[in-house]
Chain A
Amino acid sequence: MSTISVNGKELEVDEEGYLTNLNDWVPEVATYMAKDEGTELSESHWEVINFLREYYEEYQIAPAVRVLTKAIGKKLGKDKGNSKYLYELFPYGPGKQACKYAGLPKPTGCV
């Protein structure tokens, strides 16, 4: 079992670095994971991360990238609702990477 150390607490993560317990999430988890992958989180990153958390809260799933893209476009504007914008923010894949930072499981069907 691996753990990450955030705010002086040891939090359990799986073999791919996703949080094991959803409830362990605090914003510093995202900051920590991003830093670990060499990314400094901007306002734009946070918009997506917060969106994902709200989506999970409401539907109990992490959305597929296609669904995320469409929903972001609706909520934050067409200029952000496209894969180019989202892949620039999250080069490892908006589904995989942003969900990890948001403390969510990997999107259903994502390999």
Chain B
Amino acid sequence: MSDVKKFCYLNRKAPYGTVYAWESLEVVLIGAAFDQDCSLVFADDGVYQLMKGSDTTGLGIKNFSPTYSALGDYDIKKIYVEKESLEERGLSLDDLQHLVWEDEDEDYAEKDSIMVVTKDELAQILEEQDVVLSF
């Protein structure tokens, strides 16, 4: 049982302007196959990755914002967003996509994946991880 490690993906870059956000998402989706205890953290400009209402038609590039909604299917149930990062940027939880995971044990009841946490709480969460992958 001690094989299961706590993996945390730390996302600190805005999407679309650079390739970090998409790269991270791909690694998360691939890594999900290994049945580890995964969580995602969005802090600093990383909070922009979860913005709702993205439309990339005008840029002519792939829109991967809808892919975050698939994270629940990949058993990603813990998505932490830093409160201070949101506030600094004039954003709130309402500006983000509503991400859920389905609890099979409770007849596929939808449960919220996103938890808004303070930087102190985040420090504690990071402290508990075995592996932190930074993007």
Chain A positions near chain B (C-beta within 8 angstroms):
58-61, 63-64, 66-67, 70-71, 74, 108-109
Judge whether A60 and B62 touch: CB under 8 Å. Answer: yes
Determine the interface band of chain B, counting residues with CB < 8 A from chain A.
10 to 19
Contacts A59-B66, A71-B73, A74-B108 aside, 4 further interface pairs with beta carbons under 8 A come to A61-B67, A64-B32, A64-B74, A67-B73
Question: B70–A108 contact, CB under 8 A?
Answer: no
List B57-91 residues whose CB lies under 8 Å from chain A.
62-64, 66-67, 69-70, 73-74
> Are A58 and B69 closer than 8 Å at their CB atoms?
yes
Q: Which of B26, B63, B69, B108 touches A108 (beta carbons < 8 Å)? A: B26
A63 engages B70 (CB within 8 Å): yes
In the complex, what distance in Å separates the CA atom of A64 from the CA atom of B64? 16
Q: What's the minimum C-beta distance from B49 to chain A, rounded to whole angstroms?
A: 14
In the bound complex, do residue A60 and residue B33 qualify as a contact, i.e. CB atoms below 8 Å apart? no
B109 interfacial contact with A, CB 8 Å: no
Which residues of the partner chain B approach A59 to less than 8 Å between Cβ atoms?
66-67, 69-70
The reply to whether A58 and B66 form a contact with Cβ atoms under 8 Å apart is yes
Q: Inside 8 A of B29's CB, which chain A residues have their CB?
A: 61, 64, 108-109
Measured between beta carbons, the chain A residues less than 8 angstroms from B30 are 108-109
